[in-house]
Structure 1
Amino acid sequence: MLDERDRRLLALLQEDSSLSVGDLAEKVHLSVSACSRRIQRLEETGYVARRIAVLDRARMGVPTTVFALIKTAHHADDWIEAFRKAISDIPEIVEAHRLTGNYDYILKVVLPRVEHYDVVYKQIVRKVELFDVSASISMEVLKSGLGVPVEYAE
């Protein structure tokens, strides 16, 4: 069971995982050793899945975001696996979700420029048959982040 210090530690770690244990301990009012043990427990129990560096997309040369909405006439396991494999081999596709509603999937694609979307599109359709693909270009990021709410964790 998590307590408020655990939740605060999780919030701090997902905001900046490079904080030292000493800094984290000070922020949650624990000794360094007690804080270190809590972090280790949070990692061992799976609350911290991994620690990563978030790269600046503009500096990395992929400032453009396109959302591709996909409809398919195929829902068999073998097609889904082929689709999963096709998109996993394309590094520009950074997120993929299966949906309810009018579309079956949505892909978040990061690109050097919008014209590069056609390259990604062709890579997908060479590997799997799609019924319909509709793409939307992100004009402005209003909110972005990798963090999740910590108050629901038990």
Structure 2
Amino acid sequence: MTVRIDELDRKILSQLQDDASQSLDEIARRVGSSKTPVWNRIRKLKDAGVIGRQTVILDPEALGLEACFFVLVRTSEHEADWQKTFLATLQARPEVLEAHRLAGDIDYILKVRVPNARAYDAFYQALISEVKIHNVTALLSMEEIKSTTLLPL
């Protein structure tokens, strides 16, 4: 279900996407409103599921996670039990930052963050020992050109 969002809601969401640690007073000042209406709108947007959990963005390289791999997975298995096991395996692996089921020749794409190629190999070995996979292709990102969590509003 789509939630009706007006221009003030968009301004508030833009401020929160930019820096969710801002005070209500600061957000209200920046969007040209007062604190109570801003609080009510934020609560409404949370209740509607527009705003999910709030978190911080960490620098992976500062934490020693210098290698980013995009992993293309092809499988010949499409039964519910296999999918359940595969998804549980992905959920249990903190290295997997994103996982998408695709249309086309590739069934899934994973975004995996690890310290180095040796750590990726350990991830890969663990993955194929837990789930039967037809083909895995790993692509090492040489340079991150753009990465954002900001949705276009």
Q: Which TM-score applies when normalising by structure 1?
A: 0.94
**Partner residue, 1:107:** 110
Give the 3-state SS of the residue equivalent to 1:59 in structure 2: helix
**Partner residue, 2:5:** 2
Match of 1:71 among 74, 82, 87: 74
One-letter code aligned to 2:47:
E
CA deviations 1:14-42 (Å, max 9, x no partner) are 12111111110011100111111111111
Question: Is residue 2:147 matched to residue 1:144?
Answer: yes
Give the CA deviation at 1:124: 0.7
Give the CA deviation at 1:61: 1.4
CA deviations 1:107-153 (Å, max 9, x no partner) are 10001112211100011111110100000000111110112122xxx
**Partner residue, 1:38:** 41
> Residue 67 of structure 1 contacts residue 108 of structure 1 at CA under 8 Å; is this kept in 2?
yes
> Residue 66 of structure 1 contacts residue 114 of structure 1 at CA under 8 Å; is this kept in 2?
no
Distance 2:44 2:85 in 1: 37
One-letter code aligned to 1:126:
S
**Partner residue, 1:94:** 97
Q: Which has the higher contact order (CA 8 A, sep 6+)?
A: 1
Percent identity, aligned pairs only? 37
**Partner residue, 2:87:** 84
**Partner residue, 2:22:** 19
Match of 1:131 among 125, 134, 137: 134
The number of equivalent residue pairs is 150
Q: Which TM-score applies when normalising by structure 2?
A: 0.94
CA deviations 1:29-62 (Å, max 9, x no partner) are 0011111111111111111011111111112211
Structure 2 residues without counterparts, runs of 5 or longer: none
Give the 3-state SS of the residue equivalent to 1:126 in structure 2: helix
Distance 2:126 2:92 in 1: 9
Matches within 5 A, 1:51-70: 51-70=54-73
Distance 1:85 1:42 in 2: 30
